[in-house]
Structure 1
Amino acid sequence: MGQFKIDINCDVGEGVGNEADIFPFISSCNIACGGHAGDQETMLKVAYLAKKHNLKVGSHPSYPDKANFGREVMDISDQNLIQSIRKQLADFDEVLKQEQISLHHIKAHGALYNQTAKDEELAKAYLDAIDDYKDRVLLYVPYNSVVAKLAKERGFKLWFEAFADRNYNSDLSLVSRKDENALIEDPEAVLRHILPIIKNSKVVAVNGESLIIKANTLCIHGDTVSALKILMYLSSALPKNQVEIQK
């Protein structure tokens, strides 16, 4: 048994098609539910696989923007965004009901995730959209973010999330994907990145500064080219470093 425990999650159902390969190595998943990717067929297929592997299942709502994969800030009214998120979650609920799966968590995707971390009005709209779920599911949010603060005030149960395959700026924001050093793709580099997060609640930013961060769950993006390679490496390397993956 490890001295430390951590959940490892992946964003899935996004068209990569590698879920059957990566699911044995993770403990929770965030399934795209039609905003940036996914449809009824992919939701059903991935949810079935997740159940088979005994994973904690979460919904992964986004800006309704498949053209940009939900990675660009969208000019949309609060009312339309709330309506879209509620439809995404309702569609996913139908899938979970069909497969007899309980919803474990909700995690926003892409630009919606990043913007709600710092934009109070957007965070309020997002929380309004998912308010009906607050008494029964966890909300995956970044540590020390605007959305985390507001969600806690409103009674949501939170898990703090950090990113295993992404570098951080000195304000705990993620390095933009437009920058060369945004991604961490080497498995050993990922391990060096996450051990201080797990053991010491610290992360080293790209400027070399050591920052306080807390994480109940670590994300490895399913569409990262080396995702499977990273996960396979961590499955053996983490126990050697007294870390147990929290199934």
Structure 2
Amino acid sequence: MRIDLNCDLGEGCGDDAAIVPWISSASIACGGHAGDEATMRATLALCRTHGVAAGAHPGYPDREHFGRRELDLSPGALRETLLAQMARLRAVAGAEGVRLAHVKPHGALYNRAARDAGVAAVVVEAVRAFDPALTLYALSGSLLAETAAHAGLRVAHEAFVERGYGADGHLLPRGTPGAVLDTVDAAVAQARALLRGALRARDGTKLAIRADTLCLHGDRPDAAAFARALREALGNDGVAVLPFGASA
């Protein structure tokens, strides 16, 4: 058994250097919600050193709210900012000798593209125009994942080890009971359930969640210890942690 373990990095709110050795893929903020050339360069260098796949993590251009507020951008404006952010990271990656492997939308854009056909179409079209060989990371089973697959993009269905799920298979809203799994033990148990296809919602409903990649958040205070514990638990279970699509 194998799985990709990914983390959003270069956002200026975590100890990236301590996290990168324990993951297999990193989605790097590229100037929209966070990040600049210096943070991109530092995170790409970490990825190169540790053999971690690097990807772009574009979001709404709203640094004040960290990309967690939906913006009513026109399709053209959204496409333009996505292309600009991805190009900015690719330029730095080229200088660092790193090839980009994927794109993962950030925050409010990620969530909106999961349910809004128009936004999903813009995200998919922007990625295809930028580099159709890139994998698109999308919420498992979402409209974005479906739209990308129909457009011929490679899709990694993403599941979350530290977020609770409702009976509808969607993530529980932050702030509601069970929305965030605070302990390593709970997250490891959820990762194991996802890999076995035995995940249950908070109310006990059995869920069918496809998991090509598991996400953990780099802005947790304990993110580095969390990543290490999860990686070691997966290793003890005989699960190989590899970038999505990489050869074993």
Question: How would you bin the TM-score normalised by the shorter chain?
Answer: over 0.9
DSSP 3-state at the match of 2:54 = strand
| Displacement after TM superposition at 1:243 (Å) | 1.7
1:124 and 1:236 mapped to 2: Cα distance? Answer: 38
Question: What is the correspondence of 1:230-241 to structure 2 with a 5 Å cutoff?
Answer: 230-241=226-237
User: Could you list the runs of 5+ residues in structure 2 that have no partner in the other structure?
Assistant: 244-248
2:94 and 2:131 mapped to 1: Cα distance? Answer: 18
Runs of 4+ more than 6 Å apart: none
User: Could you list the runs of 5+ residues in structure 1 that have no partner in the other structure?
Assistant: none
DSSP 3-state at the match of 2:199 = strand
TM, length-normalised to structure 2: 0.93
1:172 and 1:133 mapped to 2: Cα distance? Answer: 31
Residues 108-160 of structure 1: CA deviation (Å, up to 9, x unaligned): 01111111111101101111222224531111112211111111111001111
| Displacement after TM superposition at 1:17 (Å) | 4.1
Could you tell me the percent identity over the aligned residues?
37
DSSP 3-state at the match of 1:173 = coil
Conservation of the 8 A alpha-carbon contact between 1:5 and 1:244: yes
Q: Specify which of 134, 141, 145 is matched with residue 144 of structure 1.
A: 141
| Displacement after TM superposition at 1:180 (Å) | 4.5
2:209 paired with 1:213: yes
1:133 and 1:160 mapped to 2: Cα distance? Answer: 20
Conservation of the 8 A alpha-carbon contact between 1:185 and 1:224: no
Most deviating of 232-241 and 64-73: 232-241
What is the aligned-residue RMSD (CA, Å)?
A: 1.4
Q: 1:70 to 1:99 in 2, by over 3 A?
A: same
1:180 and 1:21 mapped to 2: Cα distance? Answer: 30
| Displacement after TM superposition at 1:239 (Å) | 2.2
2:71 and 2:166 mapped to 1: Cα distance? Answer: 23
Conservation of the 8 A alpha-carbon contact between 1:134 and 1:157: no
| Displacement after TM superposition at 1:181 (Å) | 2.6
| Displacement after TM superposition at 1:35 (Å) | 0.9
Residues 23-69 of structure 1: CA deviation (Å, up to 9, x unaligned): 11111100000111101111111111111111000100101111111
2:35 and 2:170 mapped to 1: Cα distance? Answer: 26
Conservation of the 8 A alpha-carbon contact between 1:185 and 1:226: no
DSSP 3-state at the match of 1:47 = helix
Equivalent in the alignment of 1:166: 163
Q: 1:197 to 1:134 in 2, by over 3 A?
A: farther
Equivalent in the alignment of 2:151: 154
2:241 paired with 1:245: yes
Equivalent in the alignment of 1:103: 100
- How many pairs align? 243
DSSP 3-state at the match of 1:210 = coil
1:225 and 1:182 mapped to 2: Cα distance? Answer: 17
Q: Specify which of 121, 125, 128 is matched with residue 122 of structure 2.
A: 125
Letter of the structure 1 residue corresponding to residue 79 of structure 2: I
